[in-house]
Amino acid sequence: MLLALIIAGMAAKLFWDIQPRYFYLGAAVWLLALGLAAYSVVRYLLGKRVLKVEARMYEELLALRRALRLDDPSALLPR
């Protein structure tokens, strides 16, 4: 997302400074910034969904550890 913002600023500067015959250059940079922003939003949303699944699986593993009493060192010692 940061790279998309930097490139968007560069596109704005190009639109401000360039001659009208090089308008396509500024438009290409603007489209690149838009594509990077869209990519970063999609990756963020996919990561957020995967994080929910991993958190649920982690809770299941913690419940299994409690059920097997693996966190209780005295239960693991021989009697």
Within-domain flag for 27: yes
pLDDT at 38: 92
Tens of pLDDT, residue by residue over 5-64, are: 787 877 777 777 777 777 787 788 888 888 888 999 999 999 999 999 999 999 999 999
pLDDT of residue 14: 75
d(CA 19, CA 70): 71
Amino acid 59: pLDDT: 97
Number of domains in the chain: 1
With b meaning 16 or more CB within 10 Å and e meaning fewer, what string describes 32-51?
A: bbeebbeeeeeeeeeeeeee
Which structural domain, as residue segments, surrounds residue 11? 2-69
| pLDDT for the residue 58 | 97
The verdict on residue 74 lying in a domain is: no
Q: In degrees rounded to 5, what are phi and psi of residue 66?
A: -65, -40
d(CA 8, CA 25): 13
15 domain-assigned: yes
**pTM, 2 dp:** 0.62
Instruction: Read off the tokens for 50.
Output: 């995967």
Give the span between the Cα atoms of 5 and 46, in whole angstroms: 21
What per-residue confidence (pLDDT) applies to 32? 85
